[in-house]
Amino acid sequence: MIRNFQLFCNLNRIRRSDFLLLQDSLTSLNPSTLICPACGASHCCTLHAHYFRDFICISGNSAAIHSVKIPRLICSSCRHTHAVLPACLIPHASFSLFFILTVLRSYFLHTDTVENLCSRFSISCSTLYSWLKLFSLHKELWLGVLENAACSSLDFLLFLSDCSDFLQSFFLRFRFSFLQQHHVATFSHRT
Please write down the HEC assignment for all residues of the chain.
CEEECCCHHHHHHHCCCHHHHHHHHHHCCCHHHCECCCCCCECCEEEEEEEEEEEEEEECCEEEEEEEEEEEEEECCCCCEEEEEECCECCCCCEEHHHHHHHHHHHHHCCCCHHHHHHHHCCCHHHHHHHHHHHHHHHHHHHCHHHHHHCCHHHHHHHHHHCCCHHHHHHHHHCCCCCCHHHHHHHHHHC
Cα separation, 132 vs 91, whole angstroms? 18
Residue 7: its pLDDT value, please?
Answer: 45
pTM value is: 0.83
**pLDDT values of the chain reduced to their tens digit, one per residue, 191 residues:** 677 665 444 334 445 677 888 888 888 889 988 899 999 999 999 999 999 999 999 887 788 999 999 999 999 999 999 999 888 889 999 999 989 999 999 999 998 999 999 999 999 999 999 999 999 999 999 999 999 999 999 999 988 877 778 888 998 999 899 999 865 445 444 44
CB 83 within 8 A of CB 2: yes
